[in-house]
Amino acid sequence: MALIEMNILMKRSSSRREAASRSRSSRYKQERKTGKTLRSVPQLEQPPTEATQHNSVNTTTESLKISNMADEKQEFLELNNGVRIPSLGFGTWQASDKELEDAVEHALTAGYRHIDGAYAYENEKALGRVLKRWIDSGRVKREDLFIVTKLPEVGNTPAGVVKYLQRSLDNLGLSYVDLYLVHTPFGYHERGEDLHPMTDEGVIDVDMGTDHIAIWKAMEDQVEAGKTRCIGLSNFNEKQIERVWTSAERIKPAMLQVELHLYFQQKELVNYCNSRKIKVCAYSPLGSRGSAKLLGKEIPELLENPEVKKVAEKHNKTPAQVLLRHTIQRGIAAIPKSTNPGRIVQNFQIFDFELSPEEVASLDAQDQGKDGRILDFKFFKGVEKHPEFPF
Ligand SMILES: NC(=O)c1ccc[n+]([C@@H]2O[C@H](COP(=O)([O-])OP(=O)(O)OC[C@H]3O[C@@H](n4cnc5c(N)ncnc54)[C@H](OP(=O)(O)O)[C@@H]3O)[C@@H](O)[C@H]2O)c1
């Protein structure tokens, strides 16, 4: 079933790819003639200098469409230090080592170059094994990959930043990552190797002294030490981001990764981030269908939304592709996760169609505001006691 699904999708996408490639090639010729867009594109290989970290801001609000990567069909966002990130990435949460190794093989073959990991997903070593195979065999260059990982809650201290980034690098077998994120605004006390340490009372052992400003200084040090090209935040609210942004003397946050999808569009937070030149990355862009068990509750089925289905039919696309396209068209990155080969390919085939302003408006109108949030982190019992909760 999965293979049939993949074959159909690959055939369908290959003829679209040819058509899109023809139109793109004439656009690039045009761009070369006029000197627009290409001139504003920094070299991916260039490490950020101190000057670009301080001064360079993104002057383009649209995704950049460049054809110099392994799969010429990607779109990119330019971060506030001039570094480019593929706007579609691959999620790795809730996948066993074996599932992840297979899935990342499929993802890299399909053309994904941005991979979203985290120390707390406990599968970085598996990801590292696949990256090593691809880099060693010359199928991909390190500089063509955009690897993201995150500081776990037990590492939410300045010393934790140093320790856990080095551990992630060792797990991944890399000397640097492209983006390092503070995973959550709240922190836990370290108790051995337990990522979710519990007290004798059966609640999570929250560290009431989490200091975002001190943590951020340690994050800045990691860029200067060459261990990450960019730094950012995840699950932080506007007030928390503003505190970090204002205090950041050397490097401003480049990216905010938050839950964002059809029912939780985060319009105010995205506007705020735009005003601060912080790019946004949408996690759970398909509604995290696999998390029902973890959350112990029913999860709304975004893929069954009638408006999404209507738009999908019109474009001969799947509901998942429409949901991803809707996010990407807002200038927001998205990191869908799948371990199914057909769906991995399908989720990548979103650069050969465009939603009309009317379709965008009809999808924008599906937003449910705060009620649309799926992941509130209350599955960590007692996390509500942390002073930085809710976020
Ligand atoms: N920063 C954070 O705190 C945070 C929190 C959550 C997630 N994340 C990141 O964001 C990534 C994505 O979020 P997520 O995993 O919560 O949810 P998601 O990507 O919205 O949804 C994943 C689920 O959708 C299914 N799926 C994928 N493609 C599909 C398609 N085309 N049609 C139908 N179903 C499809 C997957 O099942 P199959 O595998 O069977 O296809 C899986 O159950 C994570 O993997 C992680 O990297 C970050």
What does 72-101 look like in DSSP terms, one character per residue?
TT--EEE-TTS-EEESBEEE-TT--HHHHH
Average pLDDT on 319-345 reads: 98
- pLDDT at residue 333 in the model: 98
Q: Which residue, judged by its Cα, is nearest atom 21 of ligand 1?
A: 288
Q: pLDDT-derived band of residue 77, with 50, 70 and 90 as boundaries?
A: very high
Q: What is the pLDDT of residues 85-115, one digit of tens each?
A: 999 999 999 999 999 999 999 999 999 999 9
CA–centroid distance, 287 to ligand 1, in Å, is 7
Q: What is the pLDDT of residues 237-250, one digit of tens each?
A: 999 999 999 999 99
Cα separation, 278 vs 113, whole angstroms: 21
Report the candidate in 105, 6, 90 with the shortest Cα–Cα distance to residue 338.
Answer: 90
Q: Any idea what the Cα angle at residue 158 is, between residues 155 and 160, rounded to 5°?
A: 25
121 is catalytic: yes
The answer to whether residues 321 and 349 touch, using CB atoms and an 8 Å cutoff, is yes
Reply yes or no on whether the pLDDT at 368 is more than 70: yes
Average pLDDT on 268-280 reads: 98
- pLDDT at residue 328 in the model: 98
Q: Which of 112, 180, 196, 289 to mutate to test the pocket of ligand 1 (most atoms within 8 A of CB)?
A: 289
* CA–CA distances in Å: residue 344 to residues 56, 134, 217: 34, 18, 37
Tokens of 137: 């065999």
Give 304's contacts (C-beta < 8 A, 6+ positions apart): 319
Cα separation, 40 vs 289, whole angstroms: 38
Q: Is 288 in the pocket of ligand 1 (CB under 6 A)?
A: yes
CA–centroid distance, 225 to ligand 1, in Å, is 32
Q: Mean pLDDT over all residues of the chain?
A: 85
Q: What is the pLDDT of residues 189-229, one digit of tens each?
A: 999 999 999 999 999 999 999 999 999 999 999 999 999 99
Reply yes or no on whether the pLDDT at 317 is more than 80: yes
User: Which domains does the chain possess?
Assistant: 59-385 (3.20.20.100)
Reply yes or no on whether the pLDDT at 170 is more than 70: yes
Report which ligand 1 atom has the smallest distance to the Cα of 118.
47
- pLDDT at residue 391 in the model: 79
Quick one: angle between helices 319-329 and 357-364, nearest 10?
A: 100
Q: Is 289 in the pocket of ligand 1 (CB under 6 A)?
A: yes
- pLDDT at residue 110 in the model: 97
* CA–CA distances in Å: residue 91 to residues 26, 200, 347: 33, 34, 11
Average pLDDT on 278-302 reads: 93
Reply yes or no on whether the pLDDT at 326 is more than 90: yes
The answer to whether residues 85 and 178 touch, using CB atoms and an 8 Å cutoff, is yes
Average pLDDT on 316-326 reads: 98
The answer to whether residues 174 and 147 touch, using CB atoms and an 8 Å cutoff, is yes
CA–centroid distance, 149 to ligand 1, in Å, is 16
- pLDDT at residue 72 in the model: 53
Q: Is 283 in the pocket of ligand 1 (CB under 6 A)?
A: yes
Active-site annotation holder among 121, 176, 272, 283: 121
Q: pLDDT-derived band of residue 390, with 50, 70 and 90 as boundaries?
A: confident
Q: Is 341 in the pocket of ligand 1 (CB under 6 A)?
A: no
- pLDDT at residue 280 in the model: 98
- pLDDT at residue 118 in the model: 98
Q: What is the pLDDT of residues 31-50, one digit of tens each?
A: 333 222 222 222 222 233 32
Q: pLDDT-derived band of residue 181, with 50, 70 and 90 as boundaries?
A: very high
